[in-house]
Chains A and B, each alone.
Chain A
């Protein structure tokens, strides 16, 4: 019997995606053990990596990092295909979609801070819509909109600021 080795040819882009994803997964896992005052109110620090990727590399890299992070984190935490996973997925997808458009805005006026705020608003919008039509089909969740919006602004700002500092440190802005 001859031993066969399967060798996958990896590109530099693959390595970059893998490295960034690893950091994002690590951050997500760290965040998952943090206590939260309300279900769903989380800092979303893994989004720093997505933002960093879109600035430092391109949208495709950011998309891969984000998707891999969502799938890997849910598999590690045993939440794959659970409501938590679905919420995470739809949030990230809408966030990415928003980033796809807003990254085209002139960087003279818009920094990662503004983009981060917009993407966290997109994140929470997707989640609230999913909760409304699937998990809690009741109008009472509208009570939560102000709280989640406030959290989105606060954490979006902080994450954006951290990304800004990171990019500045790496001389990419």
Chain B
């Protein structure tokens, strides 16, 4: 495989069908997901929102292949998910970069595990993605020398480098300060438009979900399930401070409030 094919835009559709997952702990069983179904089209940006404990992160882990569902199935381009795979890369809330490697070698880590590439090609690809996130100059920096926002950018480059079809983001911007976060909202939209990835983005911040997603999927806890899906048809790139977002986020917040009050009365 040559470098041109390697850098091609690839994407995939994702199908989640009747998935359930229960965790058992010493305090009893927690039904994290009950009968959840979801379709994500090629190149679509879908945000999963909901209060903590609603199973949105569980679903992300199942799609990533880090956990197995109790029932139901998950398919990427009609192929069932059996475990972790390079076609689905995950970005966590903590950057999860390796402190024993410099920035460049962190980005290179996943590429080294990818067969059919020569080492110069791998280095070329890593450079391409470092450039994409604007960190060319920091290739040889150590991780602790970077700011929180820069670390998440390296993590993004590392996730994009093996050229996955689907990018899974688990509260990726949650630990950053507001200013850095706003900047990254713009960048992730740009990169998504350039690279045409399918993105599944988990967050508890409704405004953030509305800002980023083509669709926002609202989850409700105990048991975790999807209660509503919202299409967001605002033009891109979107700004988090755009008043037009408020209309959508207000609607979602209202529905979420309804739900939690309803379940509290049960």
A binds B: no
Query: Which residues of B are at the interface with A, using a C-beta cutoff of 8 A?
Result: none
